């Protein structure tokens, strides 16, 4: 594994352990040249999942980094840790892989994310839903908040 700091190809594995969900191996590595340490993850390579965009015509490869960025944007300035966001991404990705399909609609992915965010932080959920469902006016926003409040009662 090449060192991300000095590009040296001689690095050593210092520690290996399974991730919390058990679907990957976390490795701490040290560079022989610069002495810095870094973390890598090893996981099974799945077949490429294609996402059917909302227009029903365009398709793009599933991108977990893009999913994480969307969740992080919704959780901005909220008490949601990066680890929690990563767990949401892992949960959604695992659910998608369990479907055993080659294509999935973006709408389904959005619904999975919203269900997970609803459990973690309601404000982040509303933020994500407002972009995902393309709230066009205040009434749509109020309706979604009322649904959320109604389920609590």
Domain boundaries, the chain: 11-43, 50-152
- Each residue's pLDDT tens digit, 98-108: 888 999 999 99
Number of neighbours of residue 67 by Cβ within 10 angstroms: 21
Answer yes or no: is pLDDT of 152 > 70: no
Number of neighbours of residue 118 by Cβ within 10 angstroms: 16
Higher pLDDT, 130 or 140: 130
- Each residue's pLDDT tens digit, 88-127: 999 999 999 888 899 999 999 999 999 999 999 989 988 8
Q: Give the β-pairing of 11-18 and 50-52.
A: unpaired
What's the Rg (C-alpha) of the chain?
19
Look at residue 91 in the predicted model and tell me its pLDDT.
94
Answer yes or no: is pLDDT of 138 > 90: no
Residues 6+ positions from 88 with CB-CB distance below 8 Å? 71, 113, 116, 117, 120
CB 109 within 8 A of CB 130: no
pTM (two decimals) = 0.63
Look at residue 62 in the predicted model and tell me its pLDDT.
94
- Each residue's pLDDT tens digit, 43-85: 876 678 999 998 889 999 999 999 999 999 999 999 999 999 9
């Amino acid at each position: 594994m090449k060192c991300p700091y000095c590009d040296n190809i001689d690095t050593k594995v210092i520690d290996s352990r399974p991730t919390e969900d058990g679907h990957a191996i976390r490795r701490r590595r040290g560079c022989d040249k610069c002495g810095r340490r870094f973390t890598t993850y090893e996981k099974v390579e799945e077949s490429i999942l294609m996402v059917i965009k909302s227009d029903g015509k365009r398709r793009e490869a599933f991108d977990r980094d893009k999913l994480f960025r969307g969740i992080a944007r919704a959780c901005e300035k909220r008490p949601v840790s990066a680890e929690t966001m990563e767990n949401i991404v892992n949960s959604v990705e695992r659910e998608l892989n369990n479907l055993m399909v080659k294509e999935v609609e973006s709408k389904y992915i959005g619904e999975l994310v919203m269900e997970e965010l609803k459990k973690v932080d309601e404000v982040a959920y509303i933020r994500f839903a407002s972009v995902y469902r393309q709230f066009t006016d205040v009434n749509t926003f109020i309706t979604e908040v009322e649904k959320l409040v109604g389920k609590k009662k």
